[in-house]
Structure 1
Amino acid sequence: MVKELIIDATPGGATIALLQDKQLVELHKEQISNNYAVGDIYLGKIKKIMPGLNAAFVDVGYEKDAFLHYLDLGPQVLSLLKLSKQVRGGSYQSKLLDNFKLEEEINKGGKISEVLTKNQLIPVQIAKEPISTKGPRLSSDLSIAGRYVILVPFSETISISKKIKSNTERTRLRKIIESIKPKNFGVIIRTVSEGKGVTELQQDLIDLISKWESFITRLPSTEPAKKILGEIDRTSTILRDLLNPDFQNIYVNDSSIFEEVRTYVHQISPDLESIVKMHKHKEPIFEHYGIDKQIKGAFGKTVNLAGGAYLVIEHTEALHVIDVNSGNRTANKENQETNAFQVNKEAAKEIARQLRLRDMGGIVVIDFIDMHKPNNRKDLFDYLKEEMALDRAKHTILPPSKFGLVQITRQRVRPEMNIVTSEVCPTCNGTGTIRPTILLLDDIENNFNFILTEQNEKNITLCVHPYIEAYIKKGIYNRQMKWFFKYNQWIKVTSNPSYQITEFHFLSSKGEEIKL
C-alpha cells in the first residue's frame, strides 16, 4: 500500500489529505486559530458541580463550559491536584516526580463532589474538541503522546499495545522502558515501537519528559482557563501516528511548512527525510494531484461506486444512516445472491473509507442489500472488519441483524468533516437568470476602480474562467495592457477551470480573496 500526504497551506491554516494508492482516505483541516485541539492541556476552573450527572462544568476559556465526568478524572487525580497546588504555591521545586509522594487512588464508584469543589483549579486535557452545540470534553488523567511511547504521570505501570503479538518482543520492550523511565511515570508502548532499539525509544522518552518539564515550568504563571501545554499541530500528529516505510511522498506547497515538516520527519525517521518534497507546479496542489475532484465526488448525500451501485448517506442529530443500493447494476435472477454479495463487499470497502474521510462518529447504521445465505452474511461482516482495521479511531462493529442492518459505534473526538458539494450558481446566485455577458468586462472594471482607487490595493490578481482569460490577453494591445496604462500598475490575470463563464474573483498580494 502506497501512502502519500498532500498539504495545502493557506494564510488561514492548512488542509491535509492522506492518499492510499492515490485514493483519498483522510482529510483534515487545521486552523491557525484552532484552540481546544485534542491533547491540549489547560488550567481549568471548576464552575459548577453537577451531582446528578456525577460531573463538573469547567471553564477553559471556551464560550461554553467544558464537561468533566467523574470517570474521566483518572485514578490519580488527587496527586495531580496536590502537585498543582504545590507548584503554583512554590513549595515544590523539582520538575520531575522523583521526590513527590503520590496520593491514594480515588474510588471508581465515588462522587465528584468528594474530589472537586467550585472555583477549584485543576489541569485538564482536551479529550474531545467542541462539537456542534457542545463544549469540549475533558480528562484530568493527563498523558503526553510521542511517536513510540506515551508518558503517563503519577503511575508506575508499563502497558504494551495489544497489536504487538510476540511475547519475546513484548518482554524486550518492557525491559528497555523499565531501565530508562523516570520514577512515578507510567509508559504506554505504541505499536510502532516494535523492532525499535534503545536509542530511538530513549530519545522519544526524553522529548516527552522535556514537554512535562515545560508543563511544570509554565504552571505557576498560567492564568485560570488558559492553555498550559499545546499538542503539536495536526500535520505533525498525523506524521507521528502514521509515518512508516509505506509513505512514498509528502508534498507541501508552502516553504515554511516544508521546512517544519522536513525537520520533524528528520527527527522521528531520518531515513525518510527525502520523501518530503516542495510542490513547484503552477496549478494549485490539490488540483494537480486530483484531490479537489475526489473531494467533490466523495462528499455529499450520494456516493457512487465503480460498479454502478451507490450509497445514500443521511445525517441526523443522534446517528448516521447509510443505505446501499445496487443502482443500474444488472444480474441474473438466478444469480441475485452473488450479485448482492459483490455489491455489499464493494459498499463495505467504500463505507470504511467514508467513515475515515468524513470522521463520522457516534452510531452508524448500514442497510446492506438483503442476503439469504448465512455464509455470505458472515463473510461480509468479516470483510467489513478487515477494511475497518485501518481506522485509527476506536470502533465496535455488531454482526448483521436479521433485517440485514449492521451497526457501528465509532469514537468521535473532533467535529465531523462536512464539505458542501452542491453549489449555488455563482453566475445567477440561484435566481436562474444572469446579467448580460456583454457587461462582464464593465463589471470587472467597475470593481477595479473601487479596489485600486478607493481601497488602494496593490499587486492584485484577477481570477476568471480560461475563456475570459484568453479574451483579456488576446492581441498585443489587449485589455490587460489597457488596464496597465489606465491604472498605472500591472494587473495579473489567472484562470480557474472550475469557474463559471461569467464568474470572477479578485485576490490580494497575499493570495487572499478580496470581498466586495
Structure 2
Amino acid sequence: MVLDLVIHSSPSEVTIALLKDKALVELHKEKSNNSFSVGDIYLGRIKKVMPGLNAAFVDVGYEKDAFLHYLDLGPKFSSLNKYVNGVTTKKITAASLKDFKFEEDIEKTGKISDQLVANQNVLVQIAKEPISTKGPRLSAELSIAGRYLVLVPFSDRISVSQKIKSSDERTRLKRLIQSIRPQGFGVIIRTVAENKKVADLHSDLNNLYEKWEETFKKLKSSKPPTRVLGELNRTSAMLRDLMNAQFSNIYVDDKNVQQELKEYIASIAPGRESIVKGYRKSTPIFDHFGLEKQIKSLFGKNVTMKSGAYLIIEHTEALHVVDVNSGQRSRKMDNQEQNALEVNIESAHEIARQLRLRDMGGIIVIDFIDMKDSANREKLFEVMREAMADDRAKHTILPPSKFGLIQITRQRVRPEMEIRTAETCPCCNGTGEAQATILLIDEIENNLRYILTQLNQKKISLHVHPFIEAYLTKGFYSIQRKWFMKYKKWVKIHASDSYEFLEYHFHDAMNDEISLK
C-alpha cells in the first residue's frame, strides 16, 4: 500500500487529497480563515441555561451559539471551573497543576443548572464543527492531541489504545508514561506509540505540556469569546495521525506550505523531510495526478464501479441511503446468488471509500442485493467490517437485516464534503439561449489578437478543456501552428480537466491570468 498526499493551495482555501495506491480515498477543503476546527479550545460565555435539555448555549464567537450538554462537561468540570476562575482573576499564577487542589467529581445524573449560570465564563473545546444550521458542539473534557500521546488536564488516568494488543508492550508504555507525566494530567497512549523509544514519547509529552502553558498564558489576558488554543491545520493533523513508513510522497504547489510541512515533519519524524516535494508545472496539480476526473466521477448521485455495477447515493437531513445495483454486471453470470455476492462485495469496498471521501456521518442505510444464503450474508458483513477498518471516524456496523439492509452509524464532526459534479451549460450559461458554438475559435483568436497587439504580451499560454485543446493542436497544420505563422508568437495550449467544455483562459509569462474585461 502506497499513501500519497496531494495539496493544492489557493488564497482562500487549501484542498488536501489522500491517495491510496493512486486511488482517491479522502478529500478535505480547509478555509484559510476557519476558526472553529475540531480540537480548538475557547474561552466562552454561557448565554442560556436550558434545564429542559440539560444543556447550555455558549457564545464562542460563532454566528450561532454553540451547544454544551451536561454529559459533555466531564467528571472533572468543577476542578476545571475552579482553575479558569483562578487564572482569570490572577489568583493562579502558574500553568502547573502540581499544587492545584482538585474538587470532587460531578454527578453523572446531575443537572446543568447546578454547574452553570448565565454569563459565566467557561473553557470549552470544539467537539463538532458547525454543520448545516447548527452551531459547534462543545465539550468541557479538554484534551491536547500529539503524535504519540494525548494530554488530558485534571485527570490522573493513563489509558492505552485498544489496538495495541501486546500485554507486555501495554505494561511498558503505562509504566513509562507514569514515570514522566506531569502531576495533575492524564495521558492517552495512541496506537502509533507502540514500540517507540522513551525519547520520542518524552519529547511528544513536553510539546503537549508547552501547548498547555500556551493556553494558560492566553487565558490570563483573554475575555470571552476568545480562542486560546488552535488545533493544527487539517494538513498537519492528517500527517500527525497518518504518518508512517508507508507514507511515500507529499506533493505541494505552494512554496510556503511546502516549507511549513517540512518543518512540521522534521519535528514529528526527523529525517523524512524529503518526502515533501514541490510541484511547479503549468498543469494544475490535481489535473496532473488525475484527481479532477476522479472527483467528478466519485461525488455524483450515481457512482459506477469497474464491473459495471453502480451505487445510488441519496442524502436527507436525518440519514444517508445507498442503493446497490448490479447494472451490466448481471449479464456476465448465470448464477444469481454468486453474482449478487460478488457485486455486494465490490460495493462494500466502494461504500467504505465513499464514506471516508464524502465524510458522511450519522445514520447510513445500505440496500445490498438480496442473498438467500446466510453464509453469504455473514461473509458480506465481515467484508464490510474489514473495508472500514482503516476509517479513523468512530463507527458501528450492524449485521444484515432479513431485508438485506446493513445499517452503519458513523461519527460526524465536520460538515459533509459536497462537490457539484453537474456543470452549468457551456453554451447558454444557464440562460436557456445559446450562441453559435462554431464561433468559439473565432472568439478565442480575437482575444488572442487583442492580447498580443494591444496589451503587448510577449509570452502567453491558453488553458482550455481537453476537447478544445485537441481541436486546436492536432494535425500537421493545426490551428495552433496557423496562429504562429500569423502572429509570429508560439501560444502554448494546456488542457485542464477542471474546465467546463467551452471555458478558456489566457495566462502571461508569470502564469497569472490575463483579464479580458
TM-score by length of 1: 0.91
- The answer to whether structure 1 residue 63 and structure 2 residue 63 are counterparts is yes
- The answer to whether structure 1 residue 132 and structure 2 residue 158 are counterparts is no
Identity %: 56
Letter in 1 for 2:24: L
- Aligned residue for 2:74? 74
- Aligned residue for 2:115? 115
Q: Following TM superposition, by how much is the alpha carbon of 1:479 offset from its aligned partner in structure 2, in angstroms?
A: 5.2
2:484–2:491: 8 Å Cα contact kept in structure 1? no
Deviation per CA, 1:79-126: give whole Å up to 9, x if none: 111111111111111121111111111100000000000011111110
d(CA) in 2 for partners of 1:513, 1:119:
53
Letter in 2 for 1:496: A
**1:512–1:160 CA distance, 2 compared to 1 (3 A):** farther
What secondary structure is seen at the aligned counterpart in 2 of 1:328? helix
Aligned residues: 504
Q: How does 1:321-470 map to 2 (within 5 A)?
A: 321-330=321-330, 335-430=335-430, 431=432, 433-435=434-436, 437-438=438-439, 463-464=463-464, 465-466=468-469, 467=471
d(CA) in 2 for partners of 1:118, 1:282:
56
2:156–2:184: 8 Å Cα contact kept in structure 1? yes
1:427–1:500: 8 Å Cα contact kept in structure 2? no
Q: Following TM superposition, by how much is the alpha carbon of 1:436 offset from its aligned partner in structure 2, in angstroms?
A: 5.6
Q: Following TM superposition, by how much is the alpha carbon of 1:293 offset from its aligned partner in structure 2, in angstroms?
A: 1.1
- The answer to whether structure 1 residue 27 and structure 2 residue 22 are counterparts is no
Letter in 2 for 1:495: H
What secondary structure is seen at the aligned counterpart in 2 of 1:270? coil
Deviation per CA, 1:490-512: give whole Å up to 9, x if none: x9875334445642346797857
- Aligned residue for 1:205? 205
d(CA) in 2 for partners of 1:443, 1:93:
68
d(CA) in 2 for partners of 1:142, 1:510:
46
Letter in 2 for 1:204: D
Letter in 2 for 1:306: K
Letter in 2 for 1:372: K
d(CA) in 1 for partners of 2:299, 2:317:
18
**Gapped regions of structure 1 (runs ≥ 5):** 482-490
- Aligned residue for 1:262? 262
Q: Following TM superposition, by how much is the alpha carbon of 1:458 offset from its aligned partner in structure 2, in angstroms?
A: 13
- The answer to whether structure 1 residue 288 and structure 2 residue 300 are counterparts is no
Q: How does 1:217-236 map to 2 (within 5 A)?
A: 217-236=217-236
Deviation per CA, 1:383-428: give whole Å up to 9, x if none: 1001111100000000000000000000000000111111112332
Deviation per CA, 1:36-92: give whole Å up to 9, x if none: 000011111100011110000011111111100001111111111111111111111
d(CA) in 1 for partners of 2:449, 2:150:
56
Q: Following TM superposition, by how much is the alpha carbon of 1:364 offset from its aligned partner in structure 2, in angstroms?
A: 0.2
d(CA) in 1 for partners of 2:75, 2:448:
63
**Between 144-153 and 214-223, the greater mean CA deviation after superposition:** 214-223
Letter in 2 for 1:61: G
What secondary structure is seen at the aligned counterpart in 1 of 2:329? coil
Deviation per CA, 1:312-353: give whole Å up to 9, x if none: 000011000000000011358861111110100000000000
**1:475–1:512 CA distance, 2 compared to 1 (3 A):** closer
2:461–2:494: 8 Å Cα contact kept in structure 1? no
**1:310–1:223 CA distance, 2 compared to 1 (3 A):** same
**Between 93-102 and 209-218, the greater mean CA deviation after superposition:** 93-102
1:427–1:503: 8 Å Cα contact kept in structure 2? no
**1:372–1:11 CA distance, 2 compared to 1 (3 A):** same
Q: Following TM superposition, by how much is the alpha carbon of 1:2 offset from its aligned partner in structure 2, in angstroms?
A: 1.1
1:11–1:512: 8 Å Cα contact kept in structure 2? no
Deviation per CA, 1:204-259: give whole Å up to 9, x if none: 00000000000000002222112111001100000000010011111111111111
- Aligned residue for 1:4? 4
**1:511–1:412 CA distance, 2 compared to 1 (3 A):** farther
**1:110–1:416 CA distance, 2 compared to 1 (3 A):** same
d(CA) in 1 for partners of 2:253, 2:201:
32
What secondary structure is seen at the aligned counterpart in 2 of 1:49? strand
**1:336–1:510 CA distance, 2 compared to 1 (3 A):** same
What secondary structure is seen at the aligned counterpart in 2 of 1:286? helix
1:463–1:505: 8 Å Cα contact kept in structure 2? yes
**1:475–1:429 CA distance, 2 compared to 1 (3 A):** closer
d(CA) in 2 for partners of 1:177, 1:247:
27
**1:478–1:182 CA distance, 2 compared to 1 (3 A):** farther
RMSD of aligned C-alpha atoms?
A: 2.7
d(CA) in 2 for partners of 1:214, 1:160:
26
- Aligned residue for 2:494? 495
**1:103–1:292 CA distance, 2 compared to 1 (3 A):** same
d(CA) in 2 for partners of 1:102, 1:274:
46
- Aligned residue for 2:164? 164
1:468–1:501: 8 Å Cα contact kept in structure 2? no
d(CA) in 1 for partners of 2:135, 2:361:
16
- Aligned residue for 1:153? 153
d(CA) in 1 for partners of 2:72, 2:395:
19
- The answer to whether structure 1 residue 183 and structure 2 residue 178 are counterparts is no
2:284–2:496: 8 Å Cα contact kept in structure 1? no
2:287–2:496: 8 Å Cα contact kept in structure 1? no
Deviation per CA, 1:172-225: give whole Å up to 9, x if none: 000110111000000000000000010000000000000000000000222211
Letter in 1 for 2:38: V
TM-score by length of 2: 0.91
d(CA) in 2 for partners of 1:217, 1:461:
52
- Aligned residue for 1:487? none
Letter in 2 for 1:117: V
